[in-house]
Amino acid sequence: MPLSTDARRQFDRVLDRCVADLPEDLRDLLDEVPLVVDDEPSAAVLSSIGLPADDQSLCGLHDGIPFTEQSVEHGVVMPPQIMLFRGPILRLSGWRGGSPDVRRAGELSRQIWITLVHELGHHFGLDEDTLEALGYG
């Protein structure tokens, strides 16, 4: 089901607050690493990481070479980006259609925060186990 304009607006407002709450160093990073927000991951994105085209659980993705692995040996490559997907995050937070329920606002904020910090962690070379241990799994 396509997201409503209200759902998008509420998600984006909560995301803006999460970005504003990041430590200044991480917020500054978003000037260099674009944050792309889509309703759902495309089939091409899902395929690129080995997920089936109908997967509905991918909340975010760091696309690029982690900062800790960047080298002049990589030559010209596309710059990294961080992608967040509204639909999966809204569903994970308990949203079931229409505008997100006010009762779910705290959970939505938590899920956006976890996903954003998780993908920023990947940018800095943290793996899934480390992110899980830090509470951002």
By the 8 A CB rule, do 91 and 11 touch? no
Q: What are the pLDDT digits (tens) for 26-78?
A: 888 788 888 999 999 999 999 999 999 999 999 999 887 655 555 556 555 56
Residue at 56 is within a domain: yes
- pLDDT on residue 37: 97
**73 lies in a domain?**
no
In a domain, 23, yes or no: yes
Structural domains in the chain (count): 1
Assess contact for 124 and 66: CB atoms under 8 A.
Answer: yes
Percent of residues, the chain, with pLDDT higher than 90 = 43
What are the residues facing 99 on neighbouring strands? none
In a domain, 72, yes or no: no
pLDDT of residue 7: 87
- Give the mean pLDDT of 17-28: 89
- What is the model's pLDDT at position 110? 92
94, part of any domain: yes
> Is position 11 within any domain?
yes
Residue 126 in any domain: the answer is yes
Residue 126 belongs to domain with CATH number? 3.30.2010.20
Residues comprising the chain, all counted: 137
- Domain residues for the domain of 29 are 5-65+78-133
Higher pLDDT, 122 or 66: 122
- On the question of pLDDT at 128 being above 60, the answer is yes
Backbone angles phi, psi at 43, to 5 degrees: -60, -35
Inside any domain, residue 70 = no
